[in-house]
Amino acid sequence: MAGRWVKALLGLSALAVLSVEGACPNKCSGHGSCGANDICSCEQNWINADCSARQCPFTRAWQDTASYNNDAHYYAECGNRGICDRSTGICQCDETFVGSGCRRLKCPSDCSGHGKCQFIEDLAVSTDKRVGGNPLFIDYTSWDREKIQGCRCDPGWEGHSCNRRVCPQGDDPLTTGQYDMQQGITITHSAVIKFVIRYADPYGNLWTTSEITSGLPTADATTCTNIETALRRIPNFALSSRVLNSNEISVKPGGVGAYTRTGPTTGTVAATVADITTATNCIVTFPAAPGTTGLQSLLEVDVTPYTAAGSQPMYVFSYAYLPVGETYAD
């Protein structure tokens, strides 16, 4: 008899357990566990009383009500810029918002196929001359650093969505008393060296010369001629006129005086740095031609040795020297 009572008790216990599991709504849909008071404890990213609905990603809210001082843009489902599809857990974002949780503002017209969509934190440190970023800029840490995007247009294109062609630039014939722009390069070295020069034109193109070999520091004319040859070899008439074939960039030896611009047409010139036997001075004169009239970005002298296969140009020659003065005067 005792054995029968034990079996009966075990059977009642099993029924009791089954009744507890079955009390939770829809058995928690297979996405949670049934707890006390018949309440489902849902797994991550599942919600509702029966754990039957998906939860969408939470991202920094584009707009919300601040909770405390300086405490806004807290996490919100779909960033408060979309509707969650409970069957898939994917946000149906408002127009112009994209990404998981509608986390990003879409670039206008996807930059029209003529640009690159970048976050504002990347644009802030961009070395593109037309963007005007600062590579030394402290990291942008505000809430929208990885949310707002803008277009960085390809060379020859401009506009909010990179949908407009950049027109040629030329000299204003109504202005008088002006001169072609000049840039001075001073390099200190003790032997023959090799380097390249980079030039950023007003249309957004970045050009790099072929390898340039200097003369001795006492042979400025040799170095200046080699620089001139390399700059003139830049293609697409970047530094010469299509019409005036003789109107090309020129590089001659000469003293260099630092020029500080104080306005569009005003500035101050420091005392000329005389040529010395341990340095090379070259004056680069830009031609009056489309693209080279007016203010130009400073030329960049790069002395870094490029030795990896595929480097263009590739060279290993390097000396411990620095361009001590790269200035311009007009």
User: What is the predicted pLDDT for the residue at 76?
Assistant: 92
Question: What does the DSSP assignment read for 139-164?
Answer: PP-STTTTT-EEEEEPTTEESTTS-E
Q: Does the pLDDT value for residue 294 go beyond 80?
A: no
pLDDT at 53: 94
The reported pLDDT for the residue numbered 111 is: 94
Q: What are phi and psi of 232, to 5 degrees?
A: -70, -20
Distance, in Å, from the CA atom of 230 to the CA atom of 248, rounded to the nearest integer, reads 12
Range of weakest confidence among 172-176, 184-188, 224-228, 276-280? 172-176
Q: Quote the longest CA-to-CA distance of the chain.
A: 123
Confidence (pLDDT) at 1: 47
Higher pLDDT, 204 or 159: 159
Higher pLDDT, 176 or 157: 157
Per-residue confidence (pLDDT) for residue 239, from 0 to 100: 78
Distance of CA 79 to CAs 56, 57, 144, Å? 10, 8, 12
Task: Give dist(CA 132, CA 135) in Å, integer.
Answer: 10
| Residue 22 confidence (pLDDT) | 54
Q: Please, which pLDDT band fits residue 186 given cuts at 50, 70 and 90?
A: confident
Domain boundaries, the chain: 29-95, 107-165, 182-329
Section 317-324 average pLDDT: 43
- pTM of structure: 0.63
- As a whole number of angstroms, the distance between CA 182 and CA 170 comes to 17
The predicted structure's pLDDT at residue 316 = 60
pLDDT in tens, 9-61: 444 444 444 444 458 999 999 999 998 889 999 999 999 999 999 999 999 99
| Token pair in block for residue 312 | 């263009």
Tell me, letter by letter, the H, E, C secondary structure of 230-287.
HHHCCCCCCCECCCCCCCECEEEECCEEEEEECCCCCEEEEEEECCCCCEEEEEEECC
Find, among 284, 324, 286, 287, the residue nearest to 303 by Cα: 324
Which pLDDT score, from 0 to 100, does residue 176 have?
A: 74
Q: Please tell me the predicted confidence (pLDDT) of residue 15.
A: 44
Q: What is the mean pLDDT of the chain?
A: 79
Q: How many CB atoms lie within 10 A of CB 36?
A: 7
Is the pLDDT reported for residue 322 higher than 50?
A: no
Q: Is the pLDDT of residue 246 over 70?
A: no
Task: State residue 103's pLDDT score.
Answer: 93
Assess whether the previous peptide bond of 313 is cis (omega < 30° from 0). Answer: yes
Higher model confidence: residue 153 or residue 320? 153
How much is the pLDDT for 261?
Answer: 66
Q: What is the pLDDT of residues 83-107, one digit of tens each?
A: 999 999 999 999 999 999 999 999 9
Confidence of residue 243 (pLDDT cuts 50, 70, 90): low
User: What distance in Å separates the CA atoms of residue 51 and residue 43, rounded to the nearest whole number?
Assistant: 8
